[in-house]
Structure 1
Amino acid sequence: MIHPNTEIKYINDVVGYGVFATELIPEGSITYVKDSLEIVISPTDYLAHTPEMQANIEKYSYIDENGDRIISWDFAKYVNHCCNCNTISTGYGFEMAIRDIYPGEQITDEYGIFNLEVEIPLVCGEKSCRKKVGPQDFESHYEAWDLKIKKSIKHVLEVDQPLMSLLDSKTRTQLDRLVKDPSLYKSVYALKYNKALKSHLPHTMNGLPDVSENLDLT
């Protein structure tokens, strides 16, 4: 679910649609949560679709840490990438504003975190534009992403959070502990999907703790 203080607008024929703030969204605000209405398409289900449907799935989904493709039921799927994005995914599974977002400003995201399988050309227009995003981005940029997240996540309990009630109890507990002890920060690397590792893990190992949960990159 996307933050309620947003709306969808048509931008142009090249970009298509985008999502824009209707009110101030302060730094540290949770801007997206994967709620129970999101469409989850497993790798097996994806292969069962026709090539035409696979193309649509690729356009509007992201791949999570489990290898599932997630399609938002609301207009969160229209959030565009920007190499100088104002929101970003976190290791806690939600997306967050990493600076104040003002009314009329486009909500932008970092697609490199979405476990891309192929390279995608970019049209973000920023001077810092990487020109493309692809499978190599996670390893190349996760440390820089962590620095951005750590700067802003300390405000998560200081600002109004319309989506906070959608977080599960485990995540909320992790945030409460993080605010008290920043060394407990959970790296965005927790969102990386390791296809080879997942395919070789026996079912009895699914309950193993996440080794990246307490990764501190300061």
Structure 2
Amino acid sequence: MWLHPGVEVRHSPIAGEGLFATEAIAEGTIVSRLGGREVTTAELEELFATSDTYVDTITVGPDRHLVLPPGTPNGKGNHSCDPNLWWTDAVTLVARRDIAPGEEVTNDYGTSTATADFAMACACGTSLCRGRVTGDDWRRADLRERYGDHWVPALLLLLG
């Protein structure tokens, strides 16, 4: 796991804690690289069923999911329907546009999950807010157009 040195955890209006830029971050700059343990979909479902804590995960391939270690700053990144980060590969988030000091650093969770039963209410407050983020958001034409090829690779396969 790696997090840009100009990013720190602070109180977030989106979801308790979040990541915030402490300095200007230019478009295209790597902000976060994730790491953890790869599991199958069956193993992930077992983790969800048996864990008494939040399981932070992204889809990284067909039937492959990366489970982030608990308590890492990278795991504090919140969702936004108009994020300032997007994916360049299965584990790397880069600045989608210039990020100002003090701005919350966010990504669109719909671009990193292909789990059909995933759903969460959205509280991002942007003008593009969908109200609900799901594991089927990759099917939305507006998001496919907005993000182009900036999805985790497993979803790029589905996008064809």
TM-score normalised to the size of structure 2?
0.79
After superposition, the Cα gap between the structure-2 partners of 1:189 and 1:139, relative to the gap in structure 1 and judged at 3 Å, is: farther
Give 1:79's aligned amino acid. Answer: G
Identity %: 23
Question: 5 Å matches for 1:83-162?
Answer: 83-91=81-89, 93-115=91-113, 116-117=115-116, 118-140=118-140, 141-146=143-148
Judge conservation of contact 2:19–2:76 (CA < 8 Å) in 1: yes
CA-to-aligned-CA distance 1:64-120 (integer Å, 9 cap, x gap): 224213315631111011111111112464211011111111101111112243221
Write the distance in 2 (CA, Å) between the matches of 1:10 and 1:89.
24
Question: 5 Å matches for 1:193-204?
Answer: 193=155
Write the distance in 2 (CA, Å) between the matches of 1:47 and 1:97.
31
CA-to-aligned-CA distance 1:22-64 (integer Å, 9 cap, x gap): 11111110111234xx23333343344472417621xx22222
Residue 154 of structure 1 corresponds to which residue in structure 2? Answer: none
After superposition, the Cα gap between the structure-2 partners of 1:189 and 1:100, relative to the gap in structure 1 and judged at 3 Å, is: closer
Give 1:144's aligned amino acid. Answer: R
Judge conservation of contact 2:112–2:151 (CA < 8 Å) in 1: no
After superposition, the Cα gap between the structure-2 partners of 1:51 and 1:93, relative to the gap in structure 1 and judged at 3 Å, is: closer
TM-score normalised to the size of structure 1?
0.60
Write the distance in 2 (CA, Å) between the matches of 1:136 and 1:48.
21
Tell me the secondary structure at the aligned position of residue 135 of structure 2. Answer: coil
Give 2:129's aligned amino acid. Answer: C
Residue 70 of structure 1 corresponds to which residue in structure 2? Answer: 67
Give unmatched runs, 5+ long, in structure 1: 147-186, 195-209
Write the distance in 2 (CA, Å) between the matches of 1:27 and 1:103.
13
Judge conservation of contact 2:86–2:151 (CA < 8 Å) in 1: no
Judge conservation of contact 1:89–1:110 (CA < 8 Å) in 2: no
More strand by share: 2
Return the offset for 1:4.
1.8
Return the offset for 1:131.
0.7
Residue 11 of structure 2 corresponds to which residue in structure 1? Answer: 10
Give unmatched runs, 5+ long, in structure 2: none
More helix by share: 1
Judge conservation of contact 1:71–1:77 (CA < 8 Å) in 2: yes
Equivalences, count: 152
RMSD of equivalent CA atoms: 2.8
